[in-house]
Amino acid sequence: MTSQITDVIDAVQSFVAKGYDREYRVKDGQLIDLELGSTLEACNLNVDAALRLESGDDAEDASNIYAITDPATGHKGLLIDAFDVFDELCHVDLSERLLAHRETAPAGDQDVPMKFGLRKIYKAEFEQDTARYVLREGFPDFPPCPFGQEYSILGFDTAEQTYVWLVTSIMRDSRLIRIPYQGEDVIDEDQSDPRL
């Protein structure tokens, strides 16, 4: 079923049409139902489908979609790992459950300059100036997410001051600078404090 899908948005729409209408997210290593604010027990959930869409040489970019049923509530929802990082963020029991029967297919966005309306940054461009691109976490000015959800992380080009799509190989690079949102009351390093 899932191996015929080559586009993340098409895959999400297909699962939503089959009743997977809850939004799940990984927080502190646990799977959370965002509507209820409750944690799903990894040992009890059913991973009904797991799809990895890869593009680029050596899967330079990949996204994962997990269709999950919570037997405790009967709710069905999606965990979308647009950046292929959840296996690093989840507790091992959840990660093993998600990866157990994951299918892999080539994505239909091979070598395209844009992804979801954002300029796509490949590893070669990142290598030219590793400090130029950063990973922003939890910023309120993220552009709309094409899945009808919200981004929790997104790449940012500090030279152009625009959000960009960082391919998976960059997201996994230890040189990538991660910047969590600190709130509007935090003074930007580029601005001086008028009280001083």
Candidates 81, 1, 96; CA nearest to 45 is: 96
71, 113, 121 from 42: Cα distances, Å: 11, 37, 34
Q: What is the pLDDT of residues 152-172, one digit of tens each?
A: 889 999 999 999 999 888 988
Name the least confident of 63-67, 92-96, 122-126, 187-191.
187-191
Give the pLDDT confidence of 97-146 residue by residue, as tens digits: 888 888 887 776 555 677 778 998 989 999 999 999 999 999 999 998 87
The pLDDT value recorded for residue 192 is: 38
- The pLDDT of residue 185 is 55
Cα distances (Å, whole numbers) of residue 91 to 6, 43, 47, 87, 184: 28, 11, 16, 8, 32
pTM reported for the whole predicted model: 0.68
